[in-house]
Structure 1
């Protein structure tokens, strides 16, 4: 009889974006259920994998969260899972408590960045405490970058003996058949955006949020655009009401959300990711697979995704002047940009392919499975 595994996430989009390769491979060996807020979403899961609807809200709510906890305990006790694996902070906190109380033998959680890393005072203490509880109740913890693991150990959130990083990091690696340079896609995007071909194309790909460093990027770009022909293409949803500022920035082009971000990677000259916090920054290695180097903040996670001055450039966090200086220096040094493009591509193929990370994930499960009673 095959062992029974439950993946728990707050949103099905986490599953779709990162977990399908793992689920597909694990389903060959285990009975897999995916517990999430499906709420009428159509299944995109591999054949034979069961959807289990579990309403959970992203926003904190003591009453709603207690109801979610009780409902999850019922699900776990009824299904009698051998392994539960949680992702995302809230699903991890509720999922690990429910798994522990339900007597699940193997309880895994994956950390992909800490909301509290940029917080202070009581907010930091409270959110950090939730992560500590999650890590304490889990029997094993995966972390998606070496520097993030060091950060969690230094902050006494996880124990070295309970945590590990798969390969060189990243939550799921890069699908190299999906992310690759395309001249055809590049031409199509440049035509759509009415670019002449003379401009240097900076790209920001991600949610428009203050803690993603978008305000500093806009400030830096305004000064860069005064000195050279350049555009800043922004792809992603506006979550912090930053669109009015984007629209006021000459040369900035807002494109909204895209299902084919690789097309924008192909059309750009440099990816900019000035985040204040980041788990690993999968977008960096996805861009690298398309031959696009990255200018990003010198923070944990991103310092693993980028080899400074080789596959990209790191700048001081929240420092618009440093961002501006490095944007200009890269615009004016085409040989360096080409060198970084080649090395970024080589590194993705050798260290961050989806195949490599999935293989490490399966090894982790096989090793942990030995702890289950026969």
Structure 2
């Protein structure tokens, strides 16, 4: 739906976006927030405020703090947080709420139901630790979460954004969500002006993994692959760029320190210059167990770098075997090492795959495409809905 020249359906509407971390909002949702403001909407961002309040406020968005902890799903433990969210929803009276990730979706959708929010949008990336973990506790929680999602996502005023067809199928077949309540918007988009191809650097090929340091990102397998390549004398450097966090799958800092001391991989820690990381690398690698649609690979593609990734939901959306990169089985070491060795030894193949990756990033995953699709969804759902702020 394209707004009329004289009136945008979003003008004068209030949109509340619930996301657990301010840094995540800035990296994944800030362009949507800016576009909403440009359309005349009042945008309220509810998040844990740490180090990224300034760019959110600079975009003209209002901030409301919450203590929502992104890890774990325990409504009894989080009763105070749910009560806090209920108070915010009642005070703000939004026309639309947009919940980002699993826990904000569960708690936010419940609060939206209790407070009568007209339109509820939930955005789920990958199915996350809860749907991949193999522990008995995770299996128990998985059953509870599936029942809650089935209740909350099937409400007539609810729509859920997913990033790949595998996750659409999962929610339909395993959770019982009505297909008409599911919308596929592939990823959060990539800034193709910020991430541009640069000539590959000289010297030993570098494979960079830009990721949170989590076990389920396949970091352990990548380290093992690097050890194997080192023993074989293959000329390649493997570089880990990213931080740990409070995710249950986070890798202990002591383990990262041991890896750094061993020297099979370079442990760089977090970086604020991701375009520079790709400019200084020849290959992007992400051996994750499951994704929604990984922003790090979108950025690598926009930067014109070939990829090595696992043949799992999300990764294979952008890493297309033989076209933009090489796919390997999840939780594998030898195939991962072989793919890295193949790209390290073949500059012409790297150039061909990287050029195609850039073209696909621009044509299918550019930030403006995702922003337009998201705002069009808002506009379509607002048709006939009275403005609550008047």
Does the pair score TM above 0.5?
yes
Task: Quickly say closer, same or farther: Cα 1:128–1:350, change in 2 above 3 A.
Answer: farther
Q: Secondary structure at the match of 1:10?
A: strand
Residue 6 (1) aligns with residue 16 (2) = yes
How far apart are the structure 1 equivalents of 2:373 and 2:317? 18
- Residue 194 of structure 1 is matched in structure 2 by none
Partner of 1:266: 279
Q: 53, 59, 82: which one pairs with 2:65?
A: 53
Partner of 2:237: 231
- TM-score (structure 1 length as normaliser): 0.90
Counterparts of 2:144 and 2:75 in 1: how far apart (Å)?
16
1:127 correspondence with 2:142: yes
3-state secondary structure, aligned to 2:277: helix
Native 8 Å contact 1:292 1:344 kept in 2: yes
In structure 1, the partner of 2:195 is 179
Match of residue 118, structure 2, among 105, 115, 126: 105
Structure 2 distance, partners of 1:324, 1:6, is 45
Contact 2:17 2:99 (8 Å CA) reproduced: yes
What does residue range 281-296 of structure 1 map to in structure 2 within 5 Å? 281-296=294-309
Say which SS state the counterpart of residue 223 (structure 1) adopts.
helix
Partner of 1:73, secondary structure, is helix
Gaps of 5+ in 1: 188-196
Distance 1:347 1:83, change over 3 A: same
Paired position in structure 1 for 2:342? 329
Aligned 8 A contact 2:198 2:304 in 1: no
Identify which of 96, 100, 103 aligns with 1:90. Answer: 103
Distance 2:258 2:236 in 1: 18
Match of 2:215 in 1: 210
Structure 2: runs of 5+ lacking an equivalent: 1-10, 245-249
* Cα RMSD after superposing both structures: 2.1
Rounded to whole Å, the distance in 2 between the matches of 1:63 and 1:136 is: 19
Q: Distance in 2 between matches of 1:343 and 1:39?
A: 38
Gap change, CA 1:294 and 1:261, over 3 Å in 2:
same
Number of matched pairs: 360
C-alpha contact 1:135 1:158 (8 A) present in aligned 2: yes
Calculate the TM-score normalised by the size of structure 2. 0.86
